[in-house]
């Protein structure tokens, strides 16, 4: 079965991923290689939290490569002035191409992904696809105005954008991709299914969360949550998740069909509203 890489725009296939393993086969580690001129930024990120634990458990590896190590001049120059003039600098093709080729030698089946505002919008669904495919990823972090187009044409398999805004580098987007994908890898989050109930995973915003104290600055925790009645708690969580989504992100409900369970919960809530507004 071929996995289709997300394409909200075309809805069709934009990249094809082969599942990395047969059913029941122990899952191999997913290897991330991050090409950057600031490896220390990404190293710090991978030494904390869920990503750190996933590295320690061998679920993933996260290796940084300093693009400057592929320069030939004593100033380790990675950028130069743009042909045709204009402001800013452009990343030189030679060090970047050498770094990509070297990373590919280390992980021959890896896909090479450039983080750029021109890329496809990164979503929870995209993260799910990447986690399921478990293919190694070489993440190319641009800086300055961007990278020489000849690298894009020759050595980049995919372009991903984390949002319609311009950052000063691709490192933060690369960390976003690694974080979102890693937490969807089975076992990465400890409690097996906790990622499944998360926001966007079910195409809606999560219910509200509460913890101790039972009363905070006069504000009590909703009674149903301390009732011990799990059926009522699940019903409350579904209802609040739907109503929060209706109020904050109605687009998420409009872009898909509601499940019978969701319709039943929303109808129950509408009846409450009707009672409220009844003359």
Query: Which range touches ligand 4FV (CB under 6 A), out of 2-10, 19-27, 60-68, 142-150?
Result: 142-150
Which residue, 39 or 170, has its beta carbon nearer to ligand 4FV?
170
The reply to whether 39 sits near ligand 4FV by the rule CB under 6 A is: no
The reply to whether 35 sits near ligand 4FV by the rule CB under 6 A is: no
Name which of 245, 244, 235 is nearest 265 in CA terms: 235
Would you say 142 is a known binding-site residue? yes
Name which of 228, 137, 227, 230 is nearest 180 in CA terms: 137
The reply to whether 146 sits near ligand 4FV by the rule CB under 6 A is: yes
Find the shortest distance in angstroms from Cβ 67 to ligand 4FV.
12
As separate numbers, helices (DSSP H) first and strands (DSSP E) second, the chain gives 9, 11
The reply to whether 163 sits near ligand 4FV by the rule CB under 6 A is: yes
Q: How far apart are CA 199 and CA 223, in angstroms?
A: 23
Would you say 43 is a known binding-site residue? no
Which residue, 56 or 149, has its beta carbon nearer to ligand 4FV?
149
Name which of 15, 41, 32, 33 is nearest 143 in CA terms: 41
Comparing every residue's Cβ against ligand 4FV, the nearest one is 142
Angle at 162 between CA 158 and CA 167, to 5 degrees: 105
Q: Judging by DSSP bridges, how do beta strands 60-66 and 30-36 pair with one another?
A: parallel
Find the shortest distance in angstroms from Cβ 8 to ligand 4FV.
15
Specify the DSSP element, H or E, that contains 22.
none
Which residue, 19 or 119, has its beta carbon nearer to ligand 4FV?
119
Specify the DSSP element, H or E, that contains 201.
none
Residues of this chain, 173-192, that bind ligand 4FV according to CB under 6 A: 173
DSSP 92: -
Distance of CA 139 to the CA centre of its chain: 13
Which residue, 53 or 77, has its beta carbon nearer to ligand 4FV?
77
Find the shortest distance in angstroms from Cβ 143 to ligand 4FV.
5
Query: Which range touches ligand 4FV (CB under 6 A), out of 41-49, 159-167, 211-219, 257-265?
Result: 159-167
The span from the first CA to the last CA of the chain, in angstroms, equals 57
Q: How far apart are CA 156 and CA 213, in angstroms?
A: 51
Q: Of 1, 166, 231, 257, which one interacts with ligand 4FV (CB under 6 A)?
A: 166
Given the rule CB under 6 A, which residues bind ligand 4FV? 115-117, 142-144, 146, 161-163, 165-167, 169-170, 173
């Amino acid at each position: 079965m071929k996995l289709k890489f997300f394409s909200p725009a075309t809805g069709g296939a934009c990249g094809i991923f082969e599942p990395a393993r047969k059913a029941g086969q122990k899952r191999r580690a997913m290897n991330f290689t991050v090409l950057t001129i600031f490896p220390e930024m990404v190293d710090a990120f991978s030494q904390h939290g869920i990503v750190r634990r996933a590295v320690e458990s061998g679920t993933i590896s996260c290796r940084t490569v300093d693009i400057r190590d592929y320069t030939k001049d004593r100033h380790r120059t990675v950028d130069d002035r743009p042909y045709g003039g204009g402001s800013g600098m452009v990343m030189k093709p030679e060090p970047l191409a050498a770094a990509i080729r070297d990373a590919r030698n280390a992980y021959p089946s890896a896909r090479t992904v450039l983080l750029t505002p021109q890329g496809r919008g990164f979503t929870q669904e995209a993260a799910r696809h990447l986690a399921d495919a478990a293919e190694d990823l070489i993440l190319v972090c641009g800086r300055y105005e961007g990278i020489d187009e000849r690298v894009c044409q020759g050595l980049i398999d995919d372009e991903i954008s984390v949002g319609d805004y311009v950052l000063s580098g691709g490192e933060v987007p690369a960390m976003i991709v690694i974080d979102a994908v890693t937490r969807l890898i089975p076992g990465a989050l400890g409690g097996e299914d906790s990622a499944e109930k998360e926001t966007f995973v079910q195409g809606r915003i999560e219910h509200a969360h509460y913890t101790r104290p039972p009363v905070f600055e006069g504000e009590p925790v909703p009674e149903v949550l301390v009732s011990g009645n799990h059926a009522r708690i699940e019903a409350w969580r579904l209802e609040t998740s739907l109503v929060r989504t209706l109020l904050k992100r109605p687009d998420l409900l409009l872009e898909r069909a509601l499940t019978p369970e969701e319709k039943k919960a929303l109808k129950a809530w509408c009846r409450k509203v009707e009672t409220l507004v009844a003359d």
